Structure 1
Amino acid sequence: MFGLVFGLANGFVFWLPRTAWPRFVVAVAYLSMRRKVPQDLMAFLKDAHEHRGVLRQVGPVYQFRHIDLQRHLAQQQP
Structure 2
Amino acid sequence: MFGFVFGLGDYGAWALFTLTRAWLAARGRLPRNLMAFLADAHEKRGVLRQVGPVYQFRHLELQHRLARR
Q: Which has the larger radius of gyration?
A: 1
Distance 2:46 2:14 in 1: 26
Q: Unaligned stretches of 5+ in structure 1?
A: 1-12
Structure 1 stretches of at least 4 aligned residues deviating more than 4 Å after TM superposition: none
Structure 2 residue 68 is the aligned partner of structure 1 residue 72: no
Q: Unaligned stretches of 5+ in structure 2?
A: 1-9
Which position in structure 2 is the counterpart of 1:24? 17
What does the per-residue CA deviation read over 1:34-72, in whole Å, with 9 as the maximum and x for residues that have no partner?
000110011000000000000001111111000010010
| RMSD after superposition | 1.5
What is the aligned length?
61
TM-score by length of 2: 0.80
Which position in structure 2 is the counterpart of 1:63? 56
